[in-house]
A and B are shown apart, each in its own frame.
Chain A
Amino acid sequence: MRLFFKLVKRDIYLVIKGASDAGAAILFYLLAIIMFPLSSGTESNLLTTISGGAIWMAALFASLLSLDRLFRSDFEDGSLEQIVLSGISMELIVLSKCFAHWITNGLPIVLLSPILSLIIGLDFQYWWILALTLLLGTPSLTLIGATPAALSCAIGKGGVLTALVLLPLMLPVLILGSGAITAEISGLGGTGHIYALSAILPISLLISPFLASRSIRLGWE
């Protein structure tokens, strides 16, 4: 467990130092949300209906951008190999990487969401459901994305292919997350969506470390 936090601390430190582009992904998140009112008109009725989906989509793309480099830089300079050689199980490394990614990418998205919901015109009484769905959804996005990110290391080139493989797997989270907000606004109540969303998190927590570590080992074969 101490090693786990050491690994997490190292990754967060690397982000603060600017070695990874997680900070740029947050900026992208802000920019993408500003794009929505600029592209689809500043009419407040329209914005209220699309705002939940817009914020969710921006969050999805922001994590997609930074996920591509989740393992890559460590994989390429060999430090991932060294960490494995020191005797820590691969699954734990994957979990620590995902946790650090969520701290640096998912958490800022969640924290910024109430302010952004004001900018984009979501009624402020719904901020809690937006923050709650993002809080449940962003760790799932990170965990689901870990396997394709590890596969892109094994291929040696990522980019479009990672997105192609990753997006269909992420779609259920997007549907449930933005669906909860839409259902809450329309008066149906978003709790059903939230239950389903919170079921995805433990399932992906169980499956993805194994599949992601298999994928990284595939790159070393």
Chain B
Amino acid sequence: MSNTFNFLANPSRFRIFAKNVYPYLLVIMSIFIIIGLWFGLFNSPPDYQQGETVRIMYVHVPAAWMALMVYLSMTIMSLFSLVWRHPLADILSKSSAPIGAAFTLIALVTGSVWGKPTWGTWWVWDARLTSVFILFLIYMGHIALVKAFEDEFKGARAAAILTLFGAFNLPIIKFSVDWWNTLHQPASVIKLDGPSIHVDMMIPLILMAVGFLFFYFSFLLINVQTELNQRKLKKLFIKKLNLN
């Protein structure tokens, strides 16, 4: 295991790895999302209270999970970047941020579309919604901070510091529905005493969640390739300038 990690730690080797692997991940992602959507839209029962609007959940919940997951992985990679100064960790963290921001935005928008018929309002300032909105702002701050630096290594390091600082928000988001009395319903899948959701709704939810996870992996590899190619281009350009 550690050998594989060491092998992939080299950015140029990782570039080749990413180039070869991402098409497979895209295929896996499409399979899971297509089957999940089919289950979610046609082969699962409507809710006895919410009716058909419950189907929004199959996009909303996995997107919200991924918003947290991406930030968690960014936090771990920032730790790697600050402690071991790993160049690949910087690039992975930087490439994750736009994907995480997109997932957060999807979770916020679908949640508000679902909230209008169910709660009767687009938006309430309860703890869960507010903390996810703060997560979105932190993602945007991260992206802006990376872009503000002319030196990309410095920018990545600065972004790593910010990511670690913003990680305080993760437990707040996860437990906000338990700590405060919120309009947002408490967790029904990831709980200590097992999921309380019916299996017919569980199947599309899990399928979509796995699909979204592979969406993250495949698009992360695409972003990393772009980043690595850009750096290589810059290096070639400098080499050429020196030769002339």
Point out residues on A near B: beta carbons under 8 Å: 144, 147-148, 151, 154-155, 157, 161, 164-165, 167-169, 171-172, 175, 203, 207-208, 211, 214-215, 218, 221
Contact = CB atoms under 8 A, between A and B. Distances in A.
Interface stretch (B24-32, B164-172, B200-208, B213-221): B164-172
Interface in B162-181: 162, 164-166, 168, 172
Interface centre among B82, B130, B138, B141 (most CB of A within 10 A): B141
Contact of A161 (B137, B148, B166): B148
Nearest to A208: B165
Q: Is the interface of A mostly helix, strand, loop or mixed?
A: helix
A165 B145 contact: yes
Given A147-B165, A155-B149, A157-B148, A168 B141 contact: yes
Contacts of B154: 154, 218, 221
10 contacts: A151-B158, A154-B154, A155-B149, A161-B145, A165-B145, A167-B137, A171-B130, A171-B134, A218-B154, A218-B157
Nearest to A155: B148
A211 B167 CA distance: 13
B16 interface: no
A214 B165 contact: no
A207 B141 contact: no
B161 A168 contact: no
Given A172-B172, A175-B130, A155 B144 contact: no
Interface string B117-152: 000000000000010001001101100110011000
A179 B18 CA distance: 48
A214 B168 CA distance: 18
B172 A168 contact: no
Most buried by A among B166, B168, B172: B168
A212 to B, nearest CB: 9
Given A151-B145, A175-B130, A214 B82 contact: yes
Interface residues of B, number: 21
A198 B148 CA distance: 34
Contacts of A161: 144-145, 148
Given A151-B161, A211-B165, A164 B149 contact: no
B138 A211 contact: no
Contacts of B144: 161, 164-165
Interface in B58-112: 82
A164 B140 contact: yes
A169 B138 contact: yes
Given A155-B148, A157-B148, A161-B148, A207 B165 contact: yes
B79 to A, nearest CB: 12
Nearest to A158: B148
A-B interface, 3 closest residue pairs, ranked by CB to CB distance from nearest:
A168-B137, A165-B141, A168-B138
Nearest to B139: A168
B90 to A, nearest CB: 13
Given A155-B149, A169-B166, A164 B158 contact: no
A148 B148 CA distance: 13
Contacts of B168: 172, 203
A215 B138 CA distance: 17
B127 to A, nearest CB: 9
Nearest to B153: A221
Contacts of B130: 171, 175
Contact of B165 (A164, A169, A172): A169
Nearest to A168: B137
A138 B162 CA distance: 21
A208 B162 CA distance: 11
B82 A151 contact: no
A172 B130 CA distance: 10
Q: Name which of A151, A164, A165, A207 has the most chain B CB atoms within 10 A of its CB.
A: A165
Contacts of A215: 158, 161
A17 B86 CA distance: 45
A168 B134 contact: yes
Nearest to B160: A214
Nearest to B159: A151
Contacts of B162: 147-148, 151, 165
